[in-house]
Amino acid sequence: MLDIKFIRENPEAVKENIRKKFQEAKLPLVDEVLALDSENRAAITKASELRSQRNALSKQVGMLMGQAKKDPSKLAEAEEAKAKVKASADWLAALEAKEGELEEKIHRILLQIPNIIDPSVPIGPDDSANVEVERFGEPVVPEFEIPYHTAIMERFDGLDMDAAGRVSGNGFYYLLGDIARLHEAVLAYARDFMIGKGFTYCIPPFMIHGNVVEGVMSQTDMDAMMYKIEGEDLYLIGTSEHSMVGRYIDQILPESSLPQTITSYSPCFRKEKGAHGIEERGVYRIHQFEKQEMIVVCRPEEAMDWYEKMWRYSVELFRSLEIPVRQLECCSGDLADLKVKSCDIEAWSPRQKKYFEVCSCSNLGDAQARRLRIRVKGENGKNYLPHTLNNTVVAPPRMLIAFLENNLQSDGSVKIPAALRPYMGGTEILLPKR
């Protein structure tokens, strides 16, 4: 969310940013919010004048009432002054109500105006214009055929989607045996990997209030993703970033406490509306999954350095599990409204002979901090807004697809890389049941 002062001083820059994000329908919002802002400031000024007048009249009434006790002829003048005080109070109450209405309208529009993107972001209308930056590891296509990921899991008696469908519906699954253990091993390894990078491990609340949801994501994303608890002001989180950044709502952090670097585990719940193709079936796009996340709250001048570190952590982790990956820079039209800059880490799929998304790293500037009223008390005693960043560490079971495909052997077994073996009881090879 942009500061109204910034929009007031830079309306054309804000409009140009909207054009770069291919959201021309939002252009009228800039002039609309500026008109409301002007009206609101006029109401605030008038209210301030009325308060001064009321205070002066109140003192006059007190003086006149005192005089009326000695001189009854002053009583009429005192009553007239009291009537003016009441009229002033009624007018002031109306102005204060108007201020509240205008501020709410301004707030609702500000939530819709996208954040200013970083100058380095490539310009394009959608994800088809995203730009490959760098590859890590050599993508390999083996001579043997690689089955669809659900077929691999079923060979290990590790997946039951039919039973999940009967119990919960489409988009759910049971993981069993070695596949379930592998799932938990990846999460545990990711946890310890991030702790090794100096991050604090955290398990957050899995439900959050509506004002926190509004603070951490755009309305469009909220409607498309979030499950609401009926009859309560609670939502199931779509990622632990939501509750982790929400942890700082209405807080003033000492500058010495920055950066806050946290790695958090949570289940994630998403509506995932719409029809999806064959490559997004199975356990690729589902309503419930688990994830290890990394979140950073830092000084504004440190944000881009953290952005670079965070996506490289994902690359390092995937390469330690012998999975080739690439970094893909997200274009302007593919950025969510709160994001300043974002990139995807995509893993190689030898079955599809292409890469697919497994991590998303984002710098959100001060947008979340402004919405949630998170401040930092600087050394000079002045408060400022920190910047927030987030990135996926791993998100199985999608990550399992990349793991199984890249570590599958010609005999149907799955190799366990050395880094993961301590979390699999020393197992080096998983053997299929059938």
- What are the catalytic residues? 270, 285, 357, 360, 398
d(CA 407, CA 318): 12
What are 201's strand-pairing partners?
263
CA atoms within 13 A on the CB side of 190: 30
Concatenated DSSP letters for 15-63?
A: HHHHHHTT-GGGHHHHHHHHHHHHHHHHHHHHHHHHHHHHHHHHHHHHH
Euclidean distance between CA atoms 392 and 383, whole angstroms: 30
Instruction: Give the number of residues written for the chain.
Output: 434
Token couple for 101: 């209405």
- DSSP assignment of 122-186 equals PP-SSGGG-EEEEEES-----SSPPPPHHHHHHHTT-EEHHHHHHHT-TT--EE-HHHHHHHHHH
- Bridge-based pairing state of the strands 200-202 and 260-269: parallel
Burial class (CB in 10 A: 0-12, 13-18, 19+), 23: middle
8-state DSSP, 267: E
DSSP string computed for 410-427: TTS-EE--GGGGGGGTT-
Give me the residue label for tokens 């003033």: 252
The burial of 70, by beta-carbon neighbours within 10 Å (0-12 exposed, 13-18 middle, 19 or more buried), is given as exposed
DSSP β-ladder status, 252-254 and 375-377:
parallel
Contact 293, 391 (CB under 8 A): yes
Report how far residue 23's alpha carbon sits from residue 363's, in angstroms, rounded to the nearest whole number: 20
Per the listing, tokens 């609670």 go with 234
Give the whole-angstrom CA distance, residue 201 versus residue 134.
30
Q: For residue 275, report the phi and psi dihedrals to the nearest 5 degrees.
A: -85, 145
